[in-house]
């Protein structure tokens, strides 16, 4: 049923559908007994089969007419199934729905309230604007219906006053659906107005509602602002037992109200947080993995509000043997933040037990967590190192590589502590996966603190002789740096190998970046050894890590409490408010995101006058600004496009030292705005856009700069910001402007290399 | 039509609307959608395929050992799902709903299907699809959850359950082994609904299970690092018209950590507890008594959590011995002691011991002597699995395993042995000593008292020992 359907299967499915249609036409309405002694009509199993095919994603719309006929039956199950089919298929068969209306109207007058309710619900769930008059008519009729079952389904319509009156209905289900209806109708005003009367009325009746409606009511009550502190306490007392409800949805909705009520009264804040802690921990121990996962996300937010809250309960966040890994990973995240001076040693000991397991991802995350805890709580640092040293000796690739990467971070934190323990490096280095990020980390370790290790030069020499096995640029660069550093410490041993490395690195087929670096180091060492020593001494302390607690949460998270956007964390805006545009999605993965540029007035004043190219009618706006969503939409819609390549002149080597910033600066100076940029592999990649002032034409450009091949790949798209019909002369314009734009771009890209 | 859509999208920013766009059940093996119900028609029709694609890419990127998180967003559609006995129960929504509510709902739908159809399996869903659709139609209306109460739903559902044929039950019973404690015994795998004409007195039954899940871990020196009991009382009722039931527990239960335990030092201290809506706990504080009006079908009427002083049911004593003469050899001895009363039996206890990665072969000396034990070595995963059946309370068992490594074992290789994890199942025993002291059913107009079945289980949730 995936996209690549086999045509044979298609045919077979078609035949099946046709056959069902024939059987439906032929089947009688008479009630019979089947082999298991169950009474049913002959049509019922056929419609059941139709629904089965529908669920499997097979097109059954051709049966619409037959199923409508089957809907007028005395068999209630058959009627339900047929109605379900009709409401699902109505959109595709809007012209045939008129056939069903007759059945609906008959059923709306049926003596059985179930039939009336069912017909009404189906009629209202069809999303067809043509049938709204029918709907309204039936609804007006239904609102005065005497049976609650019908009543319940009639609320998704109009008549606000009547709805506010109906809030006083005896049946809690009617009241709940009434709230839903009011929330929908009064959407523009922010939903149902919750004044003191309504709030207290709902609070008093809360117990009568079923669990799902309680969620709804509590969610509505969150909008109520109590007038006094006493009132707040009253509400908390009334809601206290909801914290022990068996449905975690009710519990969390209550927790949210508690937190909101406590906001204004600082002296009870801690007590309120303590009150909600117990129920949350119980959920953590007894909930389904999905609930536990959501719970952990909420705990992270709660901890940001009250740091001490869970500090004594750290054992609840230990791993359980059967739990899914998504839960374990979240628990580790909590443990990172819950550790204190007193508990950290115990926690690290516990986490270290997860590392030798078979799960790679958990092992890596565990190591990361230990590092994070040790950064925050310095007293435990030496203990973590001890743990790491022991684990290093196991010689298991994944573990060793992750730890080496972690240790490199330690070095920047406190080189003196790590230093002495690095004597194990020579014995473990063969198990390090040098092609991963652990490679450069290992080299850095080896030379910045490990230069006293007698074996250090020999390890480097071995690597230099084996150079073709390590093609990664980052590794090569670090090798150059490391060898040069070691040379400064132990010139006699390293002289030969450094010369060898320089020779390899400056070969013409080597990547420019490496050649550049080699050349730089060579010149530096040649010119002024003292200066070089100074530079390298600085290098190792330069990148001191920011050890401050990376655990900052904003208050606004609390408003997201008990919603899925909290589970998405920082990406929630993208996910929930607007669909994620393609461009920024790429940002997450491989691009360093750059903020969209809105040139401020100040920038405008100092920015150079728009450049004129070819003719005066081509002027790029200096204030153009579109967002990622728009960019994506335009990128997809614009039909006028052009792809081409420009080879860059090889006049100088400066090309390799180009950074994102350099390129961006050039573009921005010339009124081409940057949507996103980043580097991946040997590429620098940009998404640019510009707007022409006179015609308002929007020009989009995807630019890939391959610095090694000295090649710029350009893909441009051009069009009008507002879609619609494009007139013939505008089309002319488009092609004209795309030429201009190509010229313009070419000019600046060439300029880059000068 | 387009106007309707606009309204739905705007509302995202204003407040949470508990609205569900679609519900479906997916069988991941063949990628079949067994049940599909669209409530709002505001999300694409092909969402099951989207989810399948997403799950496949996840496995490709992360491997099978890493479970995908239970929430995905694809092009603005949120997928919230849970895996019940190998089937994915999925809700999609465009709204910023409460994740807790959705996950609770998914679990509840699974329970309801089990209640109405007898069991939950792919086969059963195919046979009873129209009944399931009837249920779904009443549970959710236009994306809003209406009710999940069995007695209410029963009056709306007209289709009769079709029982799954005998041979197919085997599949389900295998699934059951994985989740011991829930739904044990075949007589319970019966739909609450019966054909309207064949209601019999056999229907007159109630099952009460007290299940305690143990979470414990021990450090390598034998110290208890943590110990928790997560208890629940589950009721499966076939009684009509929600009769009143009175249930009393031990009187020495102390509620809440903060309360002073002075006189009774043998008190069982509940850290936290909660009741189902159908329970009236007014008397619980004082008399440890509750009044229940259990709905038909399966309900967890009470949950509790105990930590701290717990007499754990097992002690494990592992010892490692490297043989000085042959460095490629190591001896692992594991002794297990069942610290439960002598009249109790541990029906099954399985120990899993990870071995060093360089392990080449494993030999075991003394299991042939016992019929109740089995021993297995999985060379791919480098683990040994030792299973003991019918371990009597107060007794000990031990096993001695010789392992040979590809290269000599160093001191650090010992680090790779363990942690040992235990899975067990102790019937007729609660670790906390909580018992049902009283159980009375007050049924109107019934001459024959209903059958009452009370069972106790202690099972492992996570029981590990570092070596």
pLDDT in tens, A632-655: 777 777 777 777 777 766 555 556
List the strands of the sheet with B244-249, edge to edge: B279-280, B289-292, B244-249, B436-442
Q: How far is A119 from B216, CA to CA, in rounded Å?
A: 55
Minimum Cα–Cα distance from A249: chain B residue: B101
Over residues A170-183, the mean pLDDT reads: 82
Q: Cβ–Cβ of A288/B134 closer than 8 Å?
A: no
Confidence of residue B413 (pLDDT cuts 50, 70, 90): confident
CB contact under 8 A, B103 and A37: no
201-220 of B, contacting A, C-beta below 8 A: 215, 217, 219
Contacts of A349 in chain B (CB under 8 A): 219
Q: Compute the count of residue pairs across chains A and B with CB atoms less than 8 Å apart.
A: 277
User: pLDDT digits over A401-420, tens only?
Assistant: 888 877 777 776 666 666 66
A548, pLDDT greater than 80: no
Of A438-452, B69-83, B248-262, which one has max mean pLDDT? B69-83
- Confidence check: pLDDT of A254 > 50: yes
Please report which residue ranges of A167-288 form alpha helices under DSSP H.
Answer: 172-185, 196-205, 211-221, 229-239, 248-263, 266-286
Contact of B33 with chain A, judged by CB distance below 8 Å, is answered with: yes
Query: In B, which residues are within 8 Å of A279 by CB distance?
Result: 272, 274
Q: What is the mean pLDDT of residues B326-345?
A: 88
The nearest alpha carbon in chain B to A179 belongs to: B17
Q: Which residues contact B34 (CB under 8 A, 6 or more apart)?
A: A55, B24, B25, B26, B27, B87, B122, B125, B126, B129
Q: B179: pLDDT confidence band, cut at 50, 70 and 90?
A: very low
What average pLDDT does range A243-271 have in this prediction?
Answer: 89
> Looking at residue A677, what is its pLDDT?
79
Residue of A nearest to B380 (CA): A358
B406 touches chain A (CB under 8 A): no
Partner-chain contact A173 B146, CB within 8 Å: yes
Parse chain B into domains and list their residue ranges: 2-156, 203-311+429-465, 314-427
Nearest to B272 among A177, A253, A281 (CB): A281
Which structure tokens are listed for A216?
């709804």
Closest Cα in chain A, distance from residue B369 (Å): 31
Contact: A320, B215; criterion CB under 8 Å: yes
Identify all chain B residues contacting A390, using CB atoms and an 8 Å cutoff. 412, 415
Mean pLDDT estimate for chain A: 75
CATH of B2-156, one of 3.40.50.1100, 3.40.50.620, 2.60.120.10, 3.30.450.60: 3.30.450.60
- Closest partner residue to A57 (CB to CB) among B33, B70, B141 is B33
Return mean pLDDT, chain B.
80
State whether A325 and B65 contact (CB < 8 Å). yes
Partner-chain residue, chosen from B16, B158, B421, that has the shortest CB–CB distance to A76: B158
Minimum-distance CB partner of A77 among B99, B144, B158: B158
Please write the tens of the pLDDT for every residue from A144-173. Answer: 555 555 555 554 445 567 777 777 777 888
Position B137 pLDDT exceeds 80:
yes
Comparing A6 with A308, the larger pLDDT belongs to A308
Chain B residues whose CB is inside 8 A of the A56 CB are 32-33
Task: Check if the beta carbon of residue B214 is closer than 8 Å to that of residue B463.
Answer: yes
Which tokens hold the place of A6? 């086999």
Residues of A in contact with B137 (CB under 8 A): 80, 84
Greater confidence (B264 vs A384) lies with: A384
Say if the Cβ atoms of B70 and A326 lie within 8 Å.
yes
**Residue of A85, A188, A321, A387 to mutate when probing chain B, most B C-beta within 10 A:** A321
Q: Which one of B7, B73, B195 has the shortest CB-CB distance to A575? A: B73
Q: Does the reported pTM lie above 0.80?
A: no
Are domains B203-311+429-465 and B314-427 of this chain identical in fold? yes
Which is nearest to B241 in space by CA: B198, B206, B276, B289?
A: B206
Radius of gyration over every alpha carbon of chain B, rounded to an integer in angstroms: 26
> Does the domain formed by B203-311+429-465 have CATH 1.10.8.50?
no
- B70 and A CB contact within 8 Å: yes
Residue window 226-265, chain B: list those with CB within 8 Å of chain A. Answer: 226, 228, 230, 232
* pLDDT at residue A711 tops 80: no
Q: Is B462–A322 a contact, with Cβ atoms under 8 angstroms apart?
A: yes
For B:297-356, CB contacts with A below 8 A are 300, 303, 305, 354
Q: Mean pLDDT over residues A716-744, rounded? A: 69
B451 three-class SS: strand
CA of B89: which chain A residue's CA is closest? A290
Q: Tell me the chain A residues in contact with residue B107 when contact means C-beta distances shorter than 8 Å.
A: 288
What pLDDT, on the 0 to 100 scale, is given for residue B422? 92
Q: Which of A623-637, A682-696, B154-168, B217-231 has the lowest mean pLDDT?
A: B154-168
The whole-number pLDDT of residue B352 equals 92
Whether A326 sits inside 8 A of B217 (CB atoms) is no
**Confidence bin at B198 (pLDDT 50/70/90):** very low
Across the range A45-62, mean pLDDT stands at 82
| Average pLDDT estimate for A343-349 | 91
Q: B158 is written with which tokens?
A: 């007209």
Q: Which secondary structure element, helix H or strand E, spans residue A684, and what is its range?
A: strand A683-691
The encoded tokens of residue A171 equal 């049946």
B186 burial via Cβ count (<10 Å: 0-12, 13-18, 19+)? exposed
Contact A564/B32, CB-based, under 8 Å? no
Whether residues B415 and A91 touch (CB distance < 8 A) is answered with no
The span from the first CA to the last CA of chain A, in angstroms, equals: 56
In this structure, of A127-131, A362-366, A611-615, A667-671, the range with the lowest mean pLDDT score is A611-615
Token pair listed for B428 = 């007729």
Nearest in space to A405 (alpha carbons), one of A376, A357, A370 = A370
Please judge whether A212 and B421 are an interchain contact, meaning their C-beta atoms are less than 8 angstroms apart.
no
Say what the pLDDT of residue A554 is. 44
Q: Which residue among B129, B130, B145 sits closest to A212, beta carbon to beta carbon?
A: B145
Contact A212 B146 (CB under 8 A): yes
CB-based burial label for B62 (10 Å; 0-12, 13-18, 19+): middle
Q: What ipTM does this complex have?
A: 0.86
Closest chain B residue to the Cα of A182, Cα to Cα: B17
- pLDDT of A577: 40
Residues of B in contact with A156 (CB under 8 A): 142
DSSP A235-269: HHHHHGGGGG-SSHHHHHHHHHHHHHHHHT-HHHH
At residue B227, does pLDDT exceed 50?
A: yes
Residues of B in contact with A153 (CB under 8 A): 141
A-interface mutation test, from B136, B274, B298, B352, most A Cβ less than 10 A away: B274
The CATH label, of 2.40.30.260, 2.60.40.1170, 1.10.357.10, 3.60.130.10, for the domain at B314-427 is 2.60.40.1170
End-to-end CA distance of chain B: 66
Interface test with A, best of B89, B90, B101, B271 (most A CBs within 10 A): B101
The reply to whether B223 touches chain A by the CB within 8 Å rule is no
CB contact under 8 A, B226 and A37: no
What pLDDT is attached to residue B10?
37
| Shortest distance, CA A613 to any CA of chain B (angstroms) | 41
- pLDDT at residue number A331: 94
**A360-364, A381-385, A728-732, B49-53: the lowest-pLDDT one:** A728-732
Q: State how far residue B239 is from chain A, nearest Cα, in angstroms.
A: 21
Which one-letter DSSP state was computed for residue B35? E
* Residue from the list B35, B100, B232 with its beta carbon closest to the beta carbon of A252: B100
Comparing CB atoms, the residue among A129, A322, A390 nearest residue B415 is A390
Q: Mind listing the pLDDT tens digit for each residue in B17-44?
A: 568 889 999 988 788 889 998 888 888 8
- Whether residues A183 and B412 touch (CB distance < 8 A) is answered with no
CA torsion angle A321 A322 A325 A328 (round to 10): -50
Of B217, B272, B419, the CB nearest to A282: B272
More confident site: B348 or A466:
B348
Q: Which residues in chain B have their CB less than 8 angstroms from residue A350's CB?
A: 225
H or E element in which residue B386 lies: strand B383-392
Q: Is residue A335 pLDDT above 90, yes or no?
A: yes
Q: Is B162 on the interface with A (CB under 8 A)?
A: yes
Q: Please, are residues B316 and B218 in contact by the beta-carbon 8 Å criterion?
A: yes
Cβ atoms within 10 A of the Cβ of A696, count?
Answer: 12
Using one digit for the tens of pLDDT, what is the confidence trace for A202-215? 999 998 898 999 99
The stretch B413-436 carries a mean pLDDT of 87
Closest approach of chain A CAs to the CA of B396, in angstroms? Answer: 24
């Amino acid at each position: 049923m995936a996209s690549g359907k086999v045509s044979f299967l298609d045919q077979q499915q078609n035949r099946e559908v046709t056959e069902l249609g024939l059987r439906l036409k032929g089947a009688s309405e008479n009630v019979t007994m089947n082999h298991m002694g169950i009474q049913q009509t002959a049509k019922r199993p056929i419609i059941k089969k139709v629904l089965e095919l529908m669920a499997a994603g097979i097109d059954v719309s051709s049966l619409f007419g037959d199923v409508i006929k089957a809907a007028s039956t005395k068999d209630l199950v058959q009627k339900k199934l047929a109605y379900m089919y009709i409401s699902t298929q109505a959109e595709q068969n809007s012209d045939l729905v008129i056939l069903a209306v007759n059945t609906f109207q008959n059923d709306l007058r049926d003596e059985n309230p179930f039939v009336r309710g069912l017909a009404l619900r189906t009629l209202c769930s069809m999303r067809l604007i043509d049938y709204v008059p029918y709907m309204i008519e039936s609804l007006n009729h239904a609102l005065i219906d005497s049976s609650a079952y019908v009543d319940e389904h009639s609320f998704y319509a109009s008549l606000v006053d009547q709805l506010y009156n109906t809030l006083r209905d005896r049946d809690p289900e009617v009241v709940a659906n009434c709230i839903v209806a009011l929330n929908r109708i009064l959407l523009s005003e922010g939903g149902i107005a919750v004044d003191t009367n309504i709030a207290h009325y709902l609070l008093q009746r809360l117990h009568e509602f079923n669990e799902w409606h309680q969620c709804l009511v509590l969610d509505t009550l969150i909008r109520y602002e109590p007038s006094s502190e006493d009132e707040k306490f009253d509400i908390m007392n009334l809601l206290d037992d909801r914290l022990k409800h068996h449905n975690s949805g009710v519990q969390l909705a209550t927790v949210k109200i508690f937190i909101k009520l406590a906001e204004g009264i600082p002296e009870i804040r801690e007590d309120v947080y303590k009150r909600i802690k117990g129920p949350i921990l119980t959920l953590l121990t007894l909930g389904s993995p999905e609930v536990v996962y959501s719970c952990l996300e909420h705990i992270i937010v709660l901890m940001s509000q009250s740091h001490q809250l869970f500090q004594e309960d750290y054992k609840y966040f230990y791993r359980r043997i059967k739990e899914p890994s998504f839960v374990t990973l979240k628990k580790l995240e909590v443990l990172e933040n819950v550790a204190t001076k007193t508990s950290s040693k115990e926690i690290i000991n516990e986490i270290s037990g997860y590392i030798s397991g078979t799960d790679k991802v958990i092992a890596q995350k565990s190591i990361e967590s230990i590092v994070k805890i040790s950064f925050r709580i310095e007293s435990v640092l030496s203990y973590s190192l001890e743990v790491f040293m022991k684990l290093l000796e196991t010689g298991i690739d994944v573990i060793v590589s992750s730890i080496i990467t972690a240790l490199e971070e330690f070095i920047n934190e406190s080189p003196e502590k790590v230093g002495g323990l690095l004597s194990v490096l020579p014995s473990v280095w063969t198990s390090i996966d040098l092609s991963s990020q652990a490679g450069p980390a290992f080299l850095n370790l080896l030379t910045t603190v490990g230069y006293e290790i007698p074996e250090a030069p020999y390890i480097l020499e071995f690597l230099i002789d084996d150079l073709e096995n390590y093609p990664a640029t980052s590794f090569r660069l670090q090798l150059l740096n490391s060898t040069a550093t070691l040379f400064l410490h132990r010139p006699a041993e390293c002289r030969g190998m450094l010369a060898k490395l320089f020779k390899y690195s400056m070969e013409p087929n080597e990547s420019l970046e490496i050649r550049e670096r080699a050349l730089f180091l060579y010149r530096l060492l040649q010119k002024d050894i003292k200066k070089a020593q100074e530079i390298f001494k600085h290098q190792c302390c330069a990148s001191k890590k920011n050890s401050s607690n990376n655990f900052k949460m904003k208050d606004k998270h609390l408003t997201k409490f008990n919603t899925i956007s909290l589970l998405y964390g920082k990406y929630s805006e993208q996910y929930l408010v607007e669909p994620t545009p393609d461009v920024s999605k790429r940002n997450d993965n491989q691009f360093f995101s750059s903020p969209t540029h809105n040139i401020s007035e100040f920038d405008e004043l100092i920015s150079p006058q728009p450049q004129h190219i070819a003719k005066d009618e081509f002027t790029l706006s200096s204030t153009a600004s579109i967002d990622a969503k728009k960019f994506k939409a335009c990128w997809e819609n614009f039909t006028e496009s052009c792809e081409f390549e420009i080879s860059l002149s090889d006049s100088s080597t400066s090309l390799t030292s180009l950074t994102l910033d350099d390129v961006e600066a050039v573009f921005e100076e010339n009124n081409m705005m940057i949507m996103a940029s980043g580097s991946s592999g040997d590429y620098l990649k940009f998404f640019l856009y510009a707007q022409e002032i006179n015609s308002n034409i929007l020009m989009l450009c995807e630019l890939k700069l391959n610095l090694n091949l000295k090649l710029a790949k350009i893909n441009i798209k051009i069009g009008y910001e507002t879609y619609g019909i494009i007139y013939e002369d505008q089309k002319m314009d488009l092609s004209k402007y795309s030429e201009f734009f190509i010229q313009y771009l070419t000019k600046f890209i060439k300029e880059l290399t000068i | 039509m387009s106007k309707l859509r606009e309204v739905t999208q705007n509302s995202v920013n204003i407040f949470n609307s508990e609205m569900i766009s679609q519900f479906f059940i997916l069988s991941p093996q063949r990628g079949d959608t067994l049940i599909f119900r669209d409530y709002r028609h505001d999300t694409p029709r092909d969402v099951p395929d989207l989810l399948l694609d997403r799950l496949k890419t996840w496995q490709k990127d992360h491997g099978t050992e890493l479970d995908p998180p239970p929430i995905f967003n694809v092009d603005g559609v949120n997928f919230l799902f849970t895996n019940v006995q190998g089937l994915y129960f999925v809700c999609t929504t465009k709204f910023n709903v409460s994740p807790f509510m959705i996950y609770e709902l998914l679990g509840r739908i699974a329970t309801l299907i089990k209640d109405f159809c007898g069991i939950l399996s792919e086969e059963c869903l195919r046979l009873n699809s129209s009944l399931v659709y009837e249920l779904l139609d009443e549970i959710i209306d236009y994306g809003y959850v209406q009710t999940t109460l069995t007695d209410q739903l029963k009056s709306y559902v007209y289709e009769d359950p079709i029982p799954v044929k005998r041979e197919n039950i085997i599949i389900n019973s295998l699934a059951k082994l994985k989740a011991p404690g829930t739904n044990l015994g075949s007589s319970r795998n019966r739909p609450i609904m019966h054909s309207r004409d064949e209601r019999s007195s056999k229907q007159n039954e109630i099952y009460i299970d007290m299940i305690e899940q143990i979470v414990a871990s021990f450090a390598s020196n034998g110290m208890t690092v943590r110990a928790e009991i997560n208890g629940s009382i589950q009721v499966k009722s076939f009684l009509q018209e929600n009769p009143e039931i009175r249930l009393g527990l031990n009187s020495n239960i102390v509620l809440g950590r903060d309360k002073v335990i002075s006189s009774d030092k043998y008190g069982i201290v509940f850290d936290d507890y909660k009741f189902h809506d159908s329970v009236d706990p007014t008397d619980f504080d004082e008399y440890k008594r509750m009044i229940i009006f259990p709905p038909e079908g399966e309900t967890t009427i009470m949950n509790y959590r105990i930590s701290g002083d717990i007499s754990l049911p097992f002690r494990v004593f592992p010892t490692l011995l490297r043989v000085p003469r042959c460095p490629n050899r190591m001896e692992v001895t594991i002794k297990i002691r069942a610290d439960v009363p002598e009249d109790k039996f541990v029906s099954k206890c399985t120990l899993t011991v990870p071995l060093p990665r360089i392990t080449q072969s494993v030999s075991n000396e003394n299991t042939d002597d016992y019929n109740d034990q089995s021993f297995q070595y999985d060379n791919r995963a480098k683990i040994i699995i030792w299973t003991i059946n019918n371990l009597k309370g107060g007794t000990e068992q031990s096993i001695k395993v010789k392992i040979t490594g590809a290269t000599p074992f160093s001191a650090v290789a010992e680090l790779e042995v363990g942690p040992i994890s235990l899975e067990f199942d102790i019937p007729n025993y609660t670790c906390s000593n909580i018992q049902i002291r009283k159980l009375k059913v007050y049924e109107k107009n019934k001459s024959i008292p209903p059958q009452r079945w009370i069972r106790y289980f202690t099972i492992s949730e996570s029981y590990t020992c570092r070596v």
